[in-house]
Amino acid sequence: MVRVKLWGSLRALADGEEWVEVEASNFKELLDALSEKYPGLAPQIKRGVSLALDGVIYREAWFTKIGPENEVVLMPYMVGG
Amino acid sequence: MKTIPVETTINGDSTEFLCNADESLLDVLRDRLGLTGAKEGCGTGDCGACSVMMNGRLVCSCLVLGVETQGAEIETIEGMAKGEELHPLQRVFLEEAALQCGVCTPGILIAAKALLEKNPDPTDTEVRYWLAGNLCRCTGYDKIIKAVQTAAAEMRSA
Amino acid sequence: MAFDAQAERNFKVVGTRVLRPDGIDKVTGKAAYGADISAPGMLHGRILRSPHAHARIVSIDVSEAEKLPGVKAVVTGADLAQPEDDAFSDVAINCLARDKALYDGHAVAAVAATSKSIAKQAIRLIKVDYEVLPHVTDVDEAMKPDAPVVQEGRALETVPAGMSQNVTTHCQFGHGDLEAGFAKADKIIERSFKTAATHQGYIEPQACMASLGNDGRGEVWCCTQGQYMVRANCAAALGVEESQLRITASEIGGGFGGKTSTFIEPVALALSRKAGKPVKIVMTRDEVLKATGPTISSSMDIKIGMTKDGRITAGQGVLRYSGGAYPNATVEMGAQAAFAAYNLEAVETIGWNAMTNRPKEIPYRAPGAPTAIYAVESVVDELCQELGLDPLDVRLMNAADKGTLSSYGPTFNEIGLVATLEAAKAHPHYTAPLGPNQGRGLSCGFWFNFGGNTCVSLNINDDGTVGVVEGNPDIGGSRASISMMAAEEMGVPYEKVRTVIADTSSLGFNDITDGSRVTFAVGLATIQAARAAIKEMCRRVAKIWDIDEDAVIWEDGCAKPAGPNAGTHPPMTLAEIAAIAGKTGGPIAGHHEVNADGAGVSFGVHLCDTEVDPETGAVKILRYTVFQDAGKAVHPDYVEGQMQGGAVQGIGWALNEEYIYGEDGRLQNAGFLDYRVPVASDLPEIETVILEIPNPGHPYGVRGVGETPIVPPLAAIANAVSRAAGVRMTELPMSPPRLLKAITG
């Protein structure tokens, strides 16, 4: 199981939880599992999200390995100037 | 609209062109003569990217009509280097990274050259006020001011 | 890709101040920018724009314009495709309006004619029947339930029901118990702030030359931060395939984020398709200000609690941004960045975006962050003032560091904020004496930095030189830094490397030049491409020497035997290997394709001294120093240049630049005379201090540097001005009339 942290405005779409747990070994599995478990998150995930793994932000990168020992945080997909 | 023939001297070469009565010198240089070194940043004389010398005076070529240059001597960025030898201002701008995107650079070089011809030993404040009509959005002007001073010192000792 | 664990790597090229490869062209006027290219038979395009802030387009009659001799094509929104994807659709509709004009300056039709003056005449002959609608240009007004609705049905699912339809985005970030945090505070300050929209202000207006045949094949030459982005937007807006469009990025006269979208290329292509000739469109400055993207305008509430010894106990912020007439997520980045510099037990930021009848926001350097951080840093400064505390010590006491739970969710790893603050504290600027009417301000700044999709191809030429092909427009010297990294890795002199920027048909996809990504991500891919080429050269040499591949090493631009067991072969130089490449298996090249991550966040600290004229409200910047962690400064001149240029753009934002709308919803200052960007005489020297704390995500430790420098100036100057004037300024810009009003009450 992987624990993933949701940002505040997503929590209402995931039973009010800040941390949710899903079965996943990489980012793709994580996002698929989140969309399935919490359909309310699916539109945001489809639009695009970033993921922070132990403090490093990844914008896409489905096959990044994650495990229970990692800190995984969902973040909005970001753009720069 | 009828075009008007104009005879002028550009960078030392006698040049003839036809232009409309309402056509700016900048448009003549860029569109009719292929001298695209002067840039149009605003078309209203606020940015200085189109700076050229006309009869020894620094002007915004977007504010001069093509027909006004009859008999005039025009100097543009294309005439600043002598063959492969860069003017000291050009070389120092390059050496001291006084440009980033470079689009304001031709106008600034022309303006800086005009300053040093009038005042070979300006203070930083004098350089800053002289160049206040040339907008640069990349550099914060810092390296530009320093490069003008380096070139000025070099030109004084030459 | 991890930082090379070579202790004290001795760089030979990286870190030096070499001449940029495009320099001679740029000091002699030869460099070709967007408007500098013409084609045989070319037509001139011109765009008709809405004079109304908000209006239904009842009908457009182009018949008179079409009849004008010399006019070869007229197009309207109906000539562009209707992409299904919202983002592409918004771009297409922004290029040419469909049912409604959404802001003053919104394009509604365009013509192509044989001369500029005929094109100008022709657009006056287009008759547009507008039904003028009520408009809204202020973000707070736009959020009211009875506000005029800019677009219907655009709210995301995160927006609670019952709000104005203008509200499209809602977000919330943070952690901890706010109530408990505020209860621990000795002093709580709550303030509201407003900031005006500002423009990137690049000196080169958007320009393009485009050609499209009725077979769907086209070419575009344009100034852009991303040729692949232009290709995608044009393909969607024209309904053609990406493979058939070749986009070439010209030299670019500034962007700062403003050239990360398209405004004219699809219009020029549509005109060209209709006319059967190439079409050039060059925007005027008036059009640039009215119709290309400024930054967001904002309204913000910030509440911070502090103990009397300077510990921040809780921070809370509500940000209301408007990204103009389209949905916009910039507020998400502002809300995440607002408190990023602080180690807080309790923090919350809430963000809203509301549509207004203003042009579509386009990212501007660290989009979203400068305004949010301005508000937070202003309140922190006021708390320091009220509690009699040193503002630098307070920031050091509360600074985020490795292991800090960030305000936006993750735990920070290696960050350089504390070192940057300490550098500021140790600098003579911080303790220099101040005179009457003078004040000193400081602010921290933060930006995420990105990596992104990148392709690099590196070719070993037969004379032993190296060609690098990359796909990111060079906006401030990146060809130099990329060549430097290639030279460093190959062990050849910088002069032996030439880097060029590919068109979209010559190299795989690259993300735009944004997010401070190029030196980081393109550099990373270049290093990898160089390593691939080196590997191949070592393989060839191993065959020549008839030894194992791993018995050959690469050092100082030569293949060498790895040790005594590999034999006594004299080193083979790159040039020697290149000269016989045909005999050893063919041309040698390396390439690398990656979606780079690990860019590493960036912090900066700015110090600023100002003097306020109490009789006029004018502000003079007396001294300005920028401190920033660059990870590893590849070309220090251009790192300093980014720091100085960003600081000065921030100075403009703080003091003078603003979009001013009249009651009629029209922009009142669409020119450089009235939209006043800083000029040389406004400014002092901008001192820079580069720190180098290696980024663990890059082999040389490089961190993006381009965006962070625009973040701190807003608050640094506001804090300096507030201290100098004796009154807390909460609205930007602090233009003389606004400051004078605050001083005189």
Q: Give per-residue pLDDT as tens, C147-200.
A: 999 999 999 988 999 999 999 999 999 999 999 999 999 999 999 999 999 999
Out of B47, B100, B124, closest to residue C672 by CB = B47
**HSE-up (13 A, CA, CB side) for residue C252:** 28
In this structure, is residue C195 part of a structural domain?
no
Tell me how far apart the terminal alpha carbons of chain C are, to the nearest angstrom.
Answer: 57
Q: Quick check: C157 contacting A, CB < 8 Å?
A: yes
Tell me what pLDDT residue C2 has: 77
- Which of the residue ranges A42-51, C459-468, C710-719 would you say has the lowest mean pLDDT? A42-51
Out of C23, C38, C686, closest to residue B94 by CB = C23
% of chain C at pLDDT higher than 90: 96
Query: Does residue C253 share a domain with residue C229?
Result: yes
Q: Which of residues B57, B78, B99 is at a domain's end?
A: B78
Query: Does residue B104 share a domain with residue B133?
Result: yes
Domain CATH number, residue A21: 3.10.20.30
Q: Quick check: C658 contacting A, CB < 8 Å?
A: no
In this structure, is residue B95 part of a structural domain?
yes
Please give the Cα distance from C602 to C404 (Å, whole number).
15
B touches A, CB cut-off 8 Å, minimum 3 pairs: no
Q: Quick check: C365 contacting A, CB < 8 Å?
A: yes
Maximum distance among all Cα pairs of chain A, rounded to whole angstroms: 37
Domain CATH number, residue B123: 1.10.150.120
pLDDT in tens, chain B (158 residues): 689 999 999 999 999 999 999 999 999 999 999 999 999 999 999 999 999 999 999 999 999 999 999 999 999 999 999 999 999 999 999 999 999 999 999 999 999 999 999 999 999 999 999 999 999 999 999 999 999 999 999 999 98
- Is residue C7 scored above 80 in pLDDT? no
Please determine, for the modelled complex, whether the ipTM score is greater than 0.90.
Answer: yes
Domain residues for B137?
A: 88-157
Work out the pLDDT band at C515, boundaries 50, 70, 90: confident
Q: Do C203 and B41 touch (CB under 8 A)?
A: yes
In this structure, is residue C648 part of a structural domain?
yes
Q: Quick check: B126 contacting C, CB < 8 Å?
A: no
Helix (H, G, I), strand (E, B) or coil at C199: strand
Q: CA C713 from chain center: how many Å?
A: 16
Residues 6+ apart with CB under 8 A from B132: C679, C680, C681, C682
Domain residues for C651?
A: 413-449+600-745
In this structure, is residue A25 part of a structural domain?
yes
Query: Does residue B104 share a domain with residue B60?
Result: no
Please give the Cα distance from C194 to C656 (Å, whole number).
14
Shortest Cα distance, chain C CAs vs residue B157, angstroms: 23
In this structure, is residue A57 part of a structural domain?
yes
The residues facing A57 across adjacent strands are A52
Q: Quick check: B32 contacting C, CB < 8 Å?
A: no
Q: Quick check: B42 contacting C, CB < 8 Å?
A: yes
Please give the Cα distance from C520 to C597 (Å, whole number).
10
3-state secondary structure C342-376: ECCCCEEEEEEEECCCCCCCCCCCCCCHHHHHHHH
The secondary structure of residue C5, as a DSSP letter, is -
Out of A9, A13, A60, closest to residue C595 by CB = A60
% of chain B at pLDDT higher than 90: 98
Let me know the angle formed at the C-alpha of C12 by C6 and C14, rounded to the nearest 5 degrees: 85
Please give the Cα distance from C308 to C339 (Å, whole number).
20
Please give the Cα distance from B96 to C574 (Å, whole number).
31
Maximum distance among all Cα pairs of chain C, rounded to whole angstroms: 87
Query: Does residue C685 share a domain with residue C606?
Result: yes
Q: Do C200 and A81 touch (CB under 8 A)?
A: yes
Q: Do C36 and B22 touch (CB under 8 A)?
A: no
In this structure, is residue C607 part of a structural domain?
yes
In this structure, is residue A43 part of a structural domain?
yes
- Is residue A71 scored above 80 in pLDDT? yes
Domain CATH number, residue C579: 3.30.365.10
Helix (H, G, I), strand (E, B) or coil at C384: helix
**In one letter, which amino acid is C275?**
A
Domain CATH number, residue B13: 3.10.20.30
Q: Do C647 and B140 touch (CB under 8 A)?
A: yes
**HSE-up (13 A, CA, CB side) for residue C565:** 3
Shortest Cα distance, chain A CAs vs residue C304, angstroms: 19
Please give the Cα distance from C335 to B92 (Å, whole number).
43
Please give the Cα distance from C686 to B126 (Å, whole number).
17
Q: Which of residues B58, B78, B98 is at a domain's end?
A: B78
Q: Chain C partners of A8 at a C-beta cutoff of 8 Å? A: 171-174, 348, 350
Shortest Cα distance, chain A CAs vs residue C601, angstroms: 9
Domain residues for A49?
A: 2-76
Domain CATH number, residue C54: 3.90.1170.50
Query: Does residue B144 share a domain with residue B92?
Result: yes
Q: Quick check: C350 contacting A, CB < 8 Å?
A: yes
Q: Chain B partners of C202 at a C-beta cutoff of 8 Å? A: 101, 103, 137
Q: Chain C partners of A39 at a C-beta cutoff of 8 Å? A: none
Number of domains present in the structure of chain B: 2
- Is residue C8 scored above 80 in pLDDT? no
Q: Do C410 and A80 touch (CB under 8 A)?
A: no
Tell me what pLDDT residue C6 has: 57
Q: Which of residues C268, C291, C314 is at a domain's end?
A: C291
Work out the pLDDT band at C9, boundaries 50, 70, 90: confident
In this structure, is residue C389 part of a structural domain?
no
Q: How far is CA C472 from CA B84, C226, C512, in A?
A: 30, 6, 6
**Which tokens in the block code for residue C326?**
């389209």
**Which tokens in the block code for residue C457?**
């191809």
In this structure, is residue A81 part of a structural domain?
no
Please give the Cα distance from C222 to C161 (Å, whole number).
43
Main-chain phi, psi angles of C200, to 5 degrees: -55, -35
In this structure, is residue A28 part of a structural domain?
yes
Number of domains present in the structure of chain C: 3
Please give the Cα distance from B135 to C245 (Å, whole number).
35
In this structure, is residue A55 part of a structural domain?
yes
Dihedral of CA C197/C203/C646/C723: which sign?
negative
Tell me what pLDDT residue B2 has: 87
Query: Does residue C626 share a domain with residue C491?
Result: no
Tell me what pLDDT residue C5 has: 64
C touches A, CB cut-off 8 Å, minimum 3 pairs: yes
Query: Does residue B93 share a domain with residue B42?
Result: no
Q: How far is CA C358 from CA A50, C156, C224, in A?
A: 29, 20, 22
Q: Which of residues C291, C308, C327 is at a domain's end?
A: C291
Query: Does residue C706 share a domain with residue C618?
Result: yes
Mean pLDDT value of segment C678-697: 96
Out of A9, A54, A74, closest to residue C413 by CB = A54
Query: Does residue C607 share a domain with residue C528?
Result: no
Please give the Cα distance from C555 to C549 (Å, whole number).
15
Shortest Cα distance, chain C CAs vs residue B50, angstroms: 11
Q: Do C27 and B27 touch (CB under 8 A)?
A: no
Ranges of beta strands (E only) in B11-85 are 13-19, 51-54, 57-60, 73-75
Out of A9, A58, A80, closest to residue C158 by CB = A9
In this structure, is residue C355 part of a structural domain?
no
Which residue in chain A is spatially nearest to C410 when comparing CA positions?
A55
In this structure, is residue C13 part of a structural domain?
no
Mean pLDDT value of segment C431-444: 98
In this structure, is residue C27 part of a structural domain?
yes
Number of domains present in the structure of chain A: 1
Q: Chain A partners of C364 at a C-beta cutoff of 8 Å? A: 81
- The answer to whether C123 and C287 are in contact (CB under 8 A) is no
In this structure, is residue A30 part of a structural domain?
yes
Query: Does residue B95 share a domain with residue B46?
Result: no
Q: To probe the interface with C, which of B99, B101, B139 has the most C CB atoms within 10 Å? A: B101
Query: Does residue B116 share a domain with residue B64?
Result: no
Query: Does residue B73 share a domain with residue B95?
Result: no
- Which chain C residues in 511-550 lie under 8 Å from chain A, judged by CB atoms? 514-517
Query: Does residue C729 share a domain with residue C608?
Result: yes
In this structure, is residue B83 part of a structural domain?
no
Out of B44, B132, B144, closest to residue C285 by CB = B44
Query: Does residue C50 share a domain with residue C68?
Result: yes
- The answer to whether C729 and C742 are in contact (CB under 8 A) is yes
Lateral strand order in the sheet of C100-101 = C100-101, C55-61, C127-132
Shortest Cα distance, chain B CAs vs residue C285, angstroms: 5
Q: Do C332 and A76 touch (CB under 8 A)?
A: yes
What subunits make at least 3 CB pairs under 8 angstroms with A?
Answer: C
Query: Does residue B104 share a domain with residue B59?
Result: no
Please give the Cα distance from C367 to C347 (Å, whole number).
21
Q: Which of residues B15, B50, B78 is at a domain's end?
A: B78
**In one letter, which amino acid is C672?**
F
- Which chain C residues in 170-199 lie under 8 Å from chain A, judged by CB atoms? 170-175
What subunits make at least 3 CB pairs under 8 angstroms with B?
Answer: C
The residues facing C350 across adjacent strands are C172, C318
% of chain C at pLDDT higher than 70: 99
**Which tokens in the block code for residue C548?**
């194992």
Q: Which of residues C248, C276, C291 is at a domain's end?
A: C291
Tell me what pLDDT residue C1 has: 67
